[in-house]
């Protein structure tokens, strides 16, 4: 017997008041037996419940004491009730309510188990989020925020953040802008949703390798994408045709790595000017450079031909959902008209906190610290591969949060499957290829070295080396 039910029943004991309908045709004894059975079946009388003594129940119902005694005795014989000396009459534990499952201890549902080693690209080390500094900025921002900040606001975003971003982007990325040309959004995908198709019209030229999610998002907006070939100097912008817009990752091509060559930067600006087109610059990890001089934003060459898009997803956390667009003057009003509904706005407290985080210098300090940490991880990855898999070429490691491992032809799929079996999460290079791309399709793995926590990185490298194809 479940003792918890018995103890619960003891608290009400002999003072239990039962509402039982013993009226109707037939004798009182039969009516009482039927009413008690129904109370047990329905769950009104739970297993283990102690029933009132004969005299008490008889008085409550206005029937003879023997009538109650006989009803109890019959239900004991049928197994509905139990009777023990000194313990009174109780509902039998086995008598579960009709259609009700037996009471069992609640179990916590099992948590979904992820990979043992997460080497997927695109995510910073979540354990490195600067909680203390962010909390300090959040508190200061809320303390000094004007009351109007918590009412209906500006779809462009808080002016404090737009001022902070204008200063930061100018000194860190070479962006030429002013607060009035910055629109706050919730990240790169949100920016694309605002730009297409209401502001920009397709088709859109894109790099032959990139995020499939972005292509799917554009396809959902009826925007056709046309792939541009890639080589060691980035996108071959000389192949641009009649498109009126092109999406590039010029600071660090995603995912193959490497910056867009200076001559191609100039060429794509000239193309946009001649065509009346526009360049979408995805500056997704422009702050993380290790072995080369900083590469400024293409937007600095001609602010009227480039939409510069950035976010804190790689530098701080994708959980913050904060990004920005630096727009040519001619697009500002149209983008704000599309964004108009408040549901599409980023949260004001987070915007105010980020503005303080930048103005206080905390953002620069965090980026410098993470740049050093990720460079150390990059170096450990390169060293491990040189020692244990020297036949594997590592590319795209001068910047960013991931590397591309070039594999022997025909081995990518088996390497990805082997990684799954060994609990290693990573991506095959082919997953990022545009379905209409005509350029050669080399085999490779895209390995994110930023994602694992510091204490787990060594084990992740060991597991990675164990799934690579032999020479």
- pLDDT recorded at residue 153: 82
pLDDT in tens, 170-208: 999 999 999 999 999 999 999 999 999 878 887 999 999
Residue 334: CB atoms within 10 Å:
15
Residue 6: pLDDT band with limits 50, 70, 90: very low
Rounded CA-CA distance 117/302 in Å is: 43
Rounded CA-CA distance 316/124 in Å is: 7
SS3 for the chain, per residue? Answer: CCHHHHHHHHHHHHHCCCCCCCCCCCCHHHHHHHHHHHHHHHCCCCCCCECCCHHHHHHHHCCCHHHHHHHHHHHHHHCCEEEECCCEEEECCCCCCCCCCCCCCCCCCCCCCCCCEECCCCCCCHHHCCHHHHHHHHHHHHHHCCHHHHCCCCCCCCHHHHHHHHHHHHHHHCCCCCHHHEEEECCHHHHHHHHCCCCCCCCEEEECECCHHHHHHHHHCCCCEEEECEECCEECHHHCCCCCEEEECCCCCCCCCCCCCHHHHHHHHHHHHHHCCEEEEECCCCCCECCCCCCCCHHHHCCCCEEEEEECCCCCCHHHCCEEEECCHHHHHHHHHHHCCHHHCCCHHHHHHHHHHHHCCHHHHHHHHHHHHHHHHHHHHHHHHHHHCCCCEEECCCECCEEEEECCCCCHHHHHHHHHHCCEECEEHHHHECCCCCCCCCCEEEEECCCCCHHHHHHHHHHHHHHCCCC
- pLDDT recorded at residue 24: 60
The pLDDT of 418-440, averaged and rounded, is 93
Q: Are 47 and 85 in contact (CB under 8 A)?
A: no
Q: Are 45 and 100 in contact (CB under 8 A)?
A: no
Q: Strand 225-228 to strand 204-207: parallel, antiparallel, or no bridges (unpaired)?
A: parallel
- pLDDT recorded at residue 343: 65
Question: Tokens 């030229």 — which residue?
Answer: 205
C-alpha distances (whole Å) from 129 to each of 135, 189, 280 are: 11, 22, 29
Which residues have a Cβ under 8 Å from the Cβ of 24 and sit 6 or more positions away? Answer: 31
The pLDDT of 80-109, averaged and rounded, is 65
Residue 104: pLDDT band with limits 50, 70, 90: very low
Mean pLDDT, the chain, integer: 87
pLDDT in tens, 22-72: 766 568 888 888 888 888 888 888 888 888 888 888 888 888 888 888 888
305 closest CA partner among 262, 266, 253: 266
- Whether pLDDT at 444 is above 80: yes
pLDDT in tens, 120-177: 998 899 999 999 999 999 999 999 999 999 988 889 999 999 999 999 999 999 999 9
Region of poorest pLDDT, from 374-378, 407-411, 453-457 = 453-457
pLDDT in tens, 246-265: 999 999 999 998 899 999 99
- pLDDT recorded at residue 291: 77
Question: Tokens 């029943």 — which residue?
Answer: 9
- pLDDT recorded at residue 12: 37
Rounded CA-CA distance 364/130 in Å is: 12
Rounded CA-CA distance 14/151 in Å is: 60
Rounded CA-CA distance 273/298 in Å is: 14
Rounded CA-CA distance 160/174 in Å is: 20
With a pLDDT cut of 70, the percent of the chain lying above it is: 89
Rounded CA-CA distance 394/291 in Å is: 14
Rounded CA-CA distance 30/24 in Å is: 10
Q: Are 281 and 253 in contact (CB under 8 A)?
A: no
Q: Are 392 and 432 in contact (CB under 8 A)?
A: no
Q: Which pTM value belongs to this model? A: 0.75
């Amino acid at each position: 017997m479940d003792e918890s039910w018995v103890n619960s029943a003891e608290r009400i004991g002999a003072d239990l008041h039962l509402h039982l309908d013993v009226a109707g045709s037939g004798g009182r004894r039969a009516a009482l037996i039927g009413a008690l059975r129904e109370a047990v079946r329905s769950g009104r009388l739970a297993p283990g419940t102690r029933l009132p003594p004969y005299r008490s129940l008889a008085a409550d119902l206005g029937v003879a004491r023997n009538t109650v005694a006989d009803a109890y005795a019959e239900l004991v014989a049928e197994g509905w009730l139990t009777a023990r000396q000194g313990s009174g009459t109780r509902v039998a534990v086995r008598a579960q309510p009709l259609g009700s499952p037996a009471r069992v201890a609640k179990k916590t549902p099992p948590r979904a188990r992820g990979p043992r080693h997460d080497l997927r690209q695109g995510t910073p080390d979540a354990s490195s989020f600067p909680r203390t500094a962010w909390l300090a900025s959040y508190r200061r921002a809320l303390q000094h925020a004007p009351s109007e900040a918590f009412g209906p606001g500006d779809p462009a975003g808080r002016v404090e953040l737009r001022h902070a971003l204008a200063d930061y982007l100018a000194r860190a990325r070479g962006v030429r802008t002013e607060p009035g040309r910055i629109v706050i959004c919730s990240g790169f995908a949100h920016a694309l949703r605002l730009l297409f198709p209401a502001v920009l019209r397709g088709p859109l030229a894109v790099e032959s390798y990139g995020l499939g999610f972005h292509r799917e998002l554009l396809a959902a907006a009826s925007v056709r994408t046309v792939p541009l070939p890639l080589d060691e100097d980035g996108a071959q912008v000389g192949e641009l045709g009649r498109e009126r817009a092109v999406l590039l990752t010029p600071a660090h091509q995603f995912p193959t790595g490497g910056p867009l060559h200076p001559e191609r930067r100039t060429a794509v600006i000239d193309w946009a000017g001649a065509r009346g087109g526009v360049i979408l610059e995805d500056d997704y990890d422009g702050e993380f450079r290790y072995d080369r001089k900083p590469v400024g934003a293409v937007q600095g060459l001609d602010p009227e031909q480039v939409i510069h898009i950035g976010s804190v997803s790689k530098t701080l956390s994708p959980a913050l959902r904060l990004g920005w667009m630096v727009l040519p003057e001619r697009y500002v009003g149209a983008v704000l008209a599309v964004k108009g509904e408040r549901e599409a706005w980023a949260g004001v407290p987070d915007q105010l906190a980020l503005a303080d985080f930048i103005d206080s210098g905390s953002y620069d300090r965090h980026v410098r610290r993470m740049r050093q940490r990720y460079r150390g991880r990059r170096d450990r990855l390169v060293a491990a591969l040189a020692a244990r898999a020297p036949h594997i070429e590592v590319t795209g490691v001068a910047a960013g949060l991931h590397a591309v491992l070039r594999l022997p032809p025909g081995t990518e799929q088996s390497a990805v499957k082997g990684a799954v079996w060994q609990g290693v999460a990573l991506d095959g290079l082919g997953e990022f290829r545009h379905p209409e791309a005509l350029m050669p399709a080399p085999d490779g793995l895209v390995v994110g070295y930023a994602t694992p926590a510091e204490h787990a990185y060594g084990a992740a490298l060991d597991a990675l080396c164990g799934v690579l194809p032999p020479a």
